């Protein structure tokens, strides 16, 4: 078998056999197939797509390229969630302890942020002492005792995806439904949970700009999950504007504590309760309505907040920040960004707001860059909000005053005004199951 022939076949819109797909993935992971040939194959897949069988084989080949986590000791109680990436997305910090408070077992691996999106691991690292690396034994034992453990993505999980993603990132082949679906699902399948809820985002801050594309991606991933024997559903959520009010690592951790304490912005609460209830439906077997009531009770009774504290402490974190917010540190520079004119905010571009937060120090330009955990943005107004000229729309936090100009330039482009109140877009567009 020759990789040249496989590239040619996909270039000419032919179907690849299972053997050809496995040959390409295994050969590239081992280093036998060079980057330039894999890049050509990825571009051919980007342009010509894959059918259901090809895609399932691609996903399984990537899943089996490394280790899989064995969570069989927890039976059908294991529940994982995955977000396709967004701005201000701190849902894992809220959903994981809610689900654990309801008896689910959340053994989760999360990623770091890159570009305009934040990563859960970076947010957790703003908590002093929190360990994002645990041994396998520590990880399993914490899930057993506490019900939740969240660590950084292990390099041993789906190494084929790691190598392929790095190529896609530099060859304009990231935003392809088959390639995103196989990338996400290979990691979720290897991570071992029986029940999986996907938060598939659409809008300006998401990979999928339209609801239709988000739905196609969700359907593709749900189909792969079912074929692999998992219970899975996907919630389509709006990422046209940031989720919640905080964008930036420590600021988002504090906003998560607000939600777990019964405060927090309505959009964030709605998305988190929907995701947690979908997870509870899968592992608990109750209807969505019953699950939602249980989720609300976990929040109202303080059980979810207690579980959050227990989780952070079990992973070495100093949980006193829950009462004393200053323990997460404070950015030395704090400046308002004000509304340019009277009117309504007609659009708040999530991607540009993510870039503004990155410019303040909250994100990375490239993998491995340092981040400033205290940097970021608190939004005082959201799309649809009324605003007078000079009124604060956002507060900018940074440790370096020189960073403010770039952040302001992004916000000038991100926040659009008009005279009349815009129609609100739905926050949760639907569910695929």
Whether 423 sits among the annotated catalytic residues: the reply is no
Q: Does 78 bind ligand URA (CB under 6 A)?
A: no
Residue 412 CA: distances (Å) to CA of 206, 339, 353, 403: 20, 10, 10, 15
Which DSSP state fits 359?
Answer: I
Residue 94 CA: distances (Å) to CA of 166, 302, 330: 30, 12, 22
CB-closest chain residue to ligand URA: 183
- Distance, in Å, from the CA atom of 43 to the CA atom of 207, rounded to the nearest integer, reads 17
Whether 418 sits among the annotated catalytic residues: the reply is no
Strands (E), 273-425: 333-338, 343-348, 376-379, 386-387, 392-398, 415-418
Find the shortest distance in angstroms from Cβ 114 to ligand URA.
10
Looking at the Cβ atoms of 184 and 292, the one nearer to ligand URA is 184
Q: Does 180 bind ligand URA (CB under 6 A)?
A: yes
Whether 326 sits among the annotated catalytic residues: the reply is no
Q: What DSSP string runs through 97-124?
A: HHHHHTT-BEEEEE---BTTB--HHHHH
Looking at the Cβ atoms of 109 and 304, the one nearer to ligand URA is 109
Which DSSP state fits 78?
Answer: B
| H or E, element range at 246 | strand 246-247
Q: Does 358 bind ligand URA (CB under 6 A)?
A: no
| H or E, element range at 236 | strand 231-238
| End-to-end C-alpha distance for the chain, whole angstroms | 38
- Distance, in Å, from the CA atom of 407 to the CA atom of 345, rounded to the nearest integer, reads 18
As given in the structure block, the two tokens for residue 213 are 């594309």
Question: Among residues 39, 183, 195, 249, which is the contact residue for ligand URA, using CB under 6 A?
Answer: 183
Give me the 190-209 binding string for ligand URA, x by CB under 6 A, dash otherwise.
Answer: -----------------x--
Find the shortest distance in angstroms from Cβ 321 to ligand URA.
29
Looking at the Cβ atoms of 84 and 237, the one nearer to ligand URA is 84
Find the shortest distance in angstroms from Cβ 168 to ligand URA.
7
Give me the 216-255 binding string for ligand URA, x by CB under 6 A, dash otherwise.
Answer: ----------------------------------------
Active-site choice (176, 183, 233, 358):
183
- Distance, in Å, from the CA atom of 259 to the CA atom of 274, rounded to the nearest integer, reads 14
Find the shortest distance in angstroms from Cβ 153 to ligand URA.
9
Question: Among residues 66, 85, 88, 203, which is the contact residue for ligand URA, using CB under 6 A?
Answer: 85
Site residues for ligand URA, 136-165, by CB under 6 A, read 165
- Distance, in Å, from the CA atom of 82 to the CA atom of 262, rounded to the nearest integer, reads 24
Whether 287 sits among the annotated catalytic residues: the reply is no
Q: Does 295 bind ligand URA (CB under 6 A)?
A: no
Looking at the Cβ atoms of 84 and 315, the one nearer to ligand URA is 84
- Distance, in Å, from the CA atom of 3 to the CA atom of 269, rounded to the nearest integer, reads 49
368's CB contacts (< 8 A; 6+ apart) are none
Whether 187 sits among the annotated catalytic residues: the reply is yes
Looking at the Cβ atoms of 50 and 339, the one nearer to ligand URA is 50
CA atoms within 13 A on the CB side of 180: 25
Question: Among residues 100, 101, 184, 190, which is the contact residue for ligand URA, using CB under 6 A?
Answer: 184
Looking at the Cβ atoms of 169 and 433, the one nearer to ligand URA is 169
Residues noted as catalytic: 82, 161, 168, 183, 187
Please give the residue ranges that form the binding site for ligand URA (CB under 6 A): 84-85, 165, 174, 179-180, 183-184, 207
């Amino acid at each position: 078998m020759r990789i040249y022939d496989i590239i040619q076949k996909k270039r000419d819109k032919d179907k690849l056999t299972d053997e050809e797909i496995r040959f390409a993935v295994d050969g590239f992971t081992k280093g036998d197939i060079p980057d330039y040939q894999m890049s050509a194959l990825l571009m051919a897949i980007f342009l010509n797509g894959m059918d259901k069988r090809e895609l399932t084989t691609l996903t399984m080949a990537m899943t089996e390229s490394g280790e899989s986590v064995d969570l069989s000791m927890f039976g059908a109680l294991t529940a994982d969630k995955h977000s396709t990436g967004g701005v201000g997305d701190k849902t894992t910090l809220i959903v994981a302890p809610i689900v654990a408070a309801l008896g689910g077992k959340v053994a989760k691996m999360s990623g770091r942020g890159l570009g305009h999106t934040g990563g859960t691991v970076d947010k957790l690292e703003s908590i002093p002492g929190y360990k994002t690396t645990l041994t396998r034994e520590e990880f399993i034992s914490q899930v057993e005792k506490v019900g939740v453990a969240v660590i950084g993505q292990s390099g041993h999980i789906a190494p084929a995806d790691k190598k392929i993603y790095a190529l896609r990132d530099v060859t304009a082949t990231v935003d392809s439904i088959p390639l995103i679906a196989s990338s996400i699902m290979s990691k979720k399948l290897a991570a071992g949970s029986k029940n999986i809820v996907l938060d598939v985002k659409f809008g300006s801050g998401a990979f999928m700009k339209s609801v239709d594309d988000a739905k196609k991606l969700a359907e593709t991933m749900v189909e792969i999950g079912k074929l692999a024997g998992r219970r899975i559903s996907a919630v389509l959520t709006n990422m046209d504007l940031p989720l919640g009010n905080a964008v930036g690592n420590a600021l988002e951790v504090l906003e998560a504590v607000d939600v777990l304490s019964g405060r927090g912005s309505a959009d964030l609460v709605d998305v988190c309760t929907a995701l947690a209830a979908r997870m509870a439906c899968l592992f608990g077997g109750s209807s969505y309505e019953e699950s939602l009531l249980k989720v609300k009770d976990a929040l109202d009774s303080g059980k979810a907040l207690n579980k959050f504290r227990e989780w952070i402490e079990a992973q070495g974190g100093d949980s006193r920040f829950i009462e004393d917010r200053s323990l997460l540190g404070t950015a030395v520079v704090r400046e308002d960004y004000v509304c340019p004119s009277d009117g309504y905010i007609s659009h708040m571009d999530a991607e540009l707001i993510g870039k503004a937060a990155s410019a303040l120090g909250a994100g990375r330009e490239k993998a491995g860059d340092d981040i400033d955990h205290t940097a970021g943005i608190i939004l005082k107004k959201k799309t649809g909000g009324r605003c007078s000229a000079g009124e604060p729309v956002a507060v900018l936090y940074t440790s370096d005053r020189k960073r403010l100009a770039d952040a302001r330039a992004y916000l000038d482009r991100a926040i659009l005004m008009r005279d009349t109140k815009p129609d609100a877009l739905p926050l949760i567009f639907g569910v695929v199951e």
